[in-house]
Amino acid sequence: MSVIPESHADLLEAVTLADVATIGPKGEPQVNPVWFEWDGTHLCFSQTTARQKYRNLGREPRVALSIVDPTNPYRYLEVRGTVVAIDPDPELAFINRQAQRYMGEDTYPWHQPTDERVVVRVLPEHTSQMG
């Protein structure tokens, strides 16, 4: 399973938030929580194209994600990697699946007609972990 240690691979399947760190326009770090999904190779998350984070990813594809075990705050996995794909999500298939997973809702309730959704796919290259 790529660079992910077996000891912490379960966290890729946890229904919890990941904090995603990106690099801002002046080279400064930015971080905020997202829903995520592991597709077996990539850590994936949804983004609207209007968000600062989307613009950051277009300029600097290196990112880091922190996933804390929802049942043990002393256990976490940090994944550092590169955005290798940003795919359109015009039918909202990805974000709706996320809404099912995280909210038990069939469709993502906060979608706005003007929102253009994409799926960001991160290939893990390094990890750090605790616990």
Check: CB of residue 103 under 8 Å from CB of residue 15. no
Q: Does 80 bind its own copies (CB under 8 A)?
A: yes
Q: How far is the C-alpha of 58 from the C-alpha of 77, rounded, in Å?
A: 25
Nearer to its own copies, 73 or 90 (CB): 73
Site stretch for its own copies (CB under 8 A), options 3-11, 42-50, 76-84, 111-119: 76-84
Residue recorded with tokens 């379960």: 10
Interacting residues with its own copies between 17 and 56 (CB under 8 A): 17, 19-24, 27-33, 52
Give the E-state strand segments of 1-131 in sequence order. Answer: 18-23, 29-34, 37-38, 43-48, 62-68, 76-88, 117-130
Q: Which residues bind its own copies (CB under 8 A)?
A: 17, 19-24, 27-33, 52, 62-66, 68, 73, 76, 78, 80, 128, 130
